[in-house]
């Protein structure tokens, strides 16, 4: 198993936000983490990348616990995290953003090859290589954020709300990009609020409600699941 969360509990100070969440992602799988606003989805991803400390429970990558490893070591373990709201480096160029994506040793040694691959996936970024990141449109910034994540040569790409605020035709384009990433064998764990969209892309899904796992399963079975409807539509 590539990634395994075991009874994860997370608190900000005295305020617990994640309660006993267990989930796993296998090599090459596409998994979505669903849930309404404030249900703890981003916190789960931030805990996996070490930005937020674990209170109880365990995080395993390829069977080994990564608890206590500082954030900057986790990229080297094959985990890339594309943060919510893109978070590109606004005053650096597209090219510089991409180069920084391949920071850890292994990625850096193959940086030129990776950048060529990434550029063929995102031709728009090649055209804008020398532009400052903050001059890009929202969709282009999201592509840069994804491309920068891929520069780390991850085995697991975690993406927090990739479709947030994107125009419908960009969403379609982004779906194709995800499909292309999946074809390269990289596993994807992504957060999305649009249930139908997310389940149309993912193999499996987990639904969080107030920091607890409400339901999990294959995308096909979740589409018509009663609990999913209850969580999202209040039915």
Partner 1 sequence: MCVKLLPQPDICMSSDVIIQAIVSGLLMGLIYALVAVGLSLIFGLMEIVNFAHGEFLMLSMFFSFWLWVLVGLDPLLSIPLVAAALAICGFATHYGIVRHILKAPMLAQICATFGLAIAIRSLAQFLWTPDFRTIQDPLVAGRIEIGGIFIGQPQLVAGLVCLTAFIGLWLFVSRTETGLALQATAQDREAAAVMGIPTDRMFALGWAIGLACVAVAGSMLSAFYFVFPDVGINFALLAFVAVALGGFGSIMGSLAAGISIGLVESLGGVLISPSYKSLIVFGLYFAVVLIRPTGLFGRY
Site string for partner 1, 149-168 (x = CB under 8 A): ---x----------------
Cα separation of 58 and 147, whole Å? Answer: 29
Please report whether residue 103 would count as binding partner 1 according to CB under 8 A: yes
For partner 1, the binding residue among 38, 53, 90, 123 (CB under 8 A) is 90
- Residue 148 vs 155, nearer CB to partner 1: 148
Please report whether residue 229 would count as binding partner 1 according to CB under 8 A: no
Query: Residue length, the chain?
Result: 235
Contact 42, 33 (CB under 8 A): no
Q: Which residues contact 154 (CB under 8 A, 6 or more apart)?
A: 75, 78, 79, 80, 186
Q: Which residue, among 88, 64, 89, has the nearest Cα to 76 in the 3D structure?
A: 64
For partner 1, the binding residue among 4, 11, 26, 51 (CB under 8 A) is 51
Please report whether residue 99 would count as binding partner 1 according to CB under 8 A: yes
Beta strands in 62-211 (DSSP E): 64-65, 79-82, 156-160, 187-192, 204-209
- Residue 50 vs 162, nearer CB to partner 1: 50
Please report whether residue 89 would count as binding partner 1 according to CB under 8 A: yes
For partner 1, the binding residue among 57, 66, 81, 215 (CB under 8 A) is 81
Please report whether residue 92 would count as binding partner 1 according to CB under 8 A: yes
Q: How far is the CB of 105 from partner 1 (least distance, A)?
A: 9
Q: Which residue, among 171, 173, 225, has the nearest Cα to 198 in the 3D structure?
A: 171
Cα separation of 195 and 222, whole Å? Answer: 9
Which residues of the shown chain bind partner 1 in the complex (CB under 8 A)? Answer: 49-51, 70-76, 80-81, 83, 87-92, 96, 99-101, 103-104, 107, 148, 152
């Amino acid at each position: 198993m590539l990634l395994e969360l075991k009874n994860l509990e997370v608190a900000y100070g005295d305020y617990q936000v994640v309660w006993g969440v267990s989930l796993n992602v296998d090599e090459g799988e596409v998994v979505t983490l669903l849930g309404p606003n404030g249900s703890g989805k981003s916190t789960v991803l931030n805990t996996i990348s070490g930005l937020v400390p674990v209170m109880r429970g365990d995080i395993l990558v390829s069977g080994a616990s990564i608890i206590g490893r500082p954030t900057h070591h986790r990229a080297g373990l094959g985990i890339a995290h594309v943060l919510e709201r893109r978070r590109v480096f606004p005053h650096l160029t597209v090219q510089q953003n991409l180069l920084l994506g391949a920071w850890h040793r292994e990625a850096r040694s193959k940086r030129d090859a990776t950048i060529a691959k990434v550029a063929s996936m995102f031709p728009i970024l090649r055209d804008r290589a020398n532009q400052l990141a903050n001059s890009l449109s929202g969709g282009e910034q999201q592509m840069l954020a994804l491309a920068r994540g891929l520069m780390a040569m991850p085995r697991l790409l975690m993406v927090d709300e990739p479709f947030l605020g994107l125009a419908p035709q960009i969403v379609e384009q982004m779906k194709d990009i995800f499909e292309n990433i999946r074809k390269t064998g990289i596993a994807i764990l992504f957060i999305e609020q649009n249930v139908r969209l997310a389940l149309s892309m993912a193999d499996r899904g987990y639904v969080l409600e107030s920091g607890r796992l409400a339901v999990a399963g294959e995308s096909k079975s979740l589409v018509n699941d009663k609990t999913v409807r209850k969580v999202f539509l209040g039915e």
